[in-house]
Amino acid sequence: MPLVNMKPLLEKAKKEGYAVGSFSVANMEMVLGVLKAVEETKSPAIIQIAEVRLNHSPLELIGPLMVAAAKNSPMPVAVHFDHGKTTEKIKQALDIGFTSVMFDGSHLPFEENSAVTASVKQLASGYGADCEGEIGCVGGSEDGSEDIAINCTSPEQAHEFSEKTGVDALAVAIGNAHGNYKQAPKLRFDILEETAALVKAPLVLHGGTGILPDDFRKCIKLGISKINIATATFDSVEQSARAAYDANSIKGYYDLQTAEVEGAYRNALRHIEIFGCAGKA
């Protein structure tokens, strides 16, 4: 059960009341660590990379690796292009075999966001792939390079947007932001609940790093079916390598590689347990 589309994973999650972790990866070690946790827990999963990360991990290199890893996994794994900003890169991801793409037009006026998202949805459909959009504005930027202000989703606009675009998943802004929070965020569960009541498409929570376990559970109960985790993975990989150096257990490159895989594995494992998707493959 290897490379799969994102939509059926999210529809099953929505029906059964759990969320699928969508883990950002930047290299082979992170892919290996995440998929080890996925296999061990018998979970569905999504691995993703955002367009802003491509200067560190070129799409033509990391993309085929991600697709091959998903195909090689005994668990259902979707491969997603996160925060797509240009049609050129979105198309490149689809050509490589990604089964899902996001167009992030959250900074655009409503009509323009709807129109471009609808065209990306059409493009993805031509490949048999799925499409995620965003309405409202999640805080920060995926790589921390911009200090984008949070602009909470309007439930009515979310409904109109999802009907107009036909997106397979919809990212909402409910006080969440990318990167490490200075303090745990106060999420607007009321907005989430209202949005979930109006929108048929599965809802996505970005900025997963630093959200408290109970808040994750509440979001899932109120309608979140996909949760994006990036910074926590990068931090866990870096800390795992640092701890191994501090313990003097790195005697050569492959010890460092093992520590990196372990960092990604432990982070994915922790989130999979919280999201309730263990055993749902």
- Residue 121 or 178: the one with the smaller Cβ distance to ligand 13P is 178
DSSP-assigned letter for residue 148: P
Quote the least distance from Cβ 158 to ligand 13P, whole Å.
17
Tell me which stretch binds ligand 13P (CB under 6 A): 6-14, 26-34, 200-208, 264-272.
200-208
Near ligand 13P by CB under 6 A: residue from 14, 178, 271, 280: 178
DSSP assignment of 88-144: HHHHHHHHHT-SEEEE--TTS-HHHHHHHHHHHHHHHHHTT-EEEEEESB-BS-TTS
Quote the least distance from Cβ 89 to ligand 13P, whole Å.
15
Burial 205-240 (b: 16+ CB within 10 A, else e): bbbbbbbeeebbbbbbebbbbbbbbbbbbbebbeeb
Quote the least distance from Cβ 27 to ligand 13P, whole Å.
16
Q: Which of residues 218-257 bind ligand 13P (CB under 6 A)?
A: 228-232
Through-space distance between the first and last CA atoms of the chain, rounded to whole angstroms: 9
Quote the least distance from Cβ 240 to ligand 13P, whole Å.
17
Catalytic site includes residue 82: yes
Q: Which of 82, 104, 143, 168 is catalytic?
A: 82
x/- track of binding to ligand 13P for residues 179-198 (CB under 6 A): x-------------------
- How many whole angstroms separate alpha carbon 180 and alpha carbon 197? 30
Q: Does 134 bind ligand 13P (CB under 6 A)?
A: no
Q: Give the residue carrying structure tokens 């979105």.
A: 90
Q: Does 104 bind ligand 13P (CB under 6 A)?
A: no
54 contacts: CB under 8 Å, gap ≥ 6: 89
Q: Cβ of 64: how many Cβ atoms within 10 Å? A: 12
Near ligand 13P by CB under 6 A: residue from 209, 225, 236, 267: 209
Q: Does 208 bind ligand 13P (CB under 6 A)?
A: yes
Angle between helices 155-165 and 189-198 (to 10 degrees): 40
Quote the least distance from Cβ 140 to ligand 13P, whole Å.
7
- Residue 41 or 141: the one with the smaller Cβ distance to ligand 13P is 141
Catalytic residues: 82
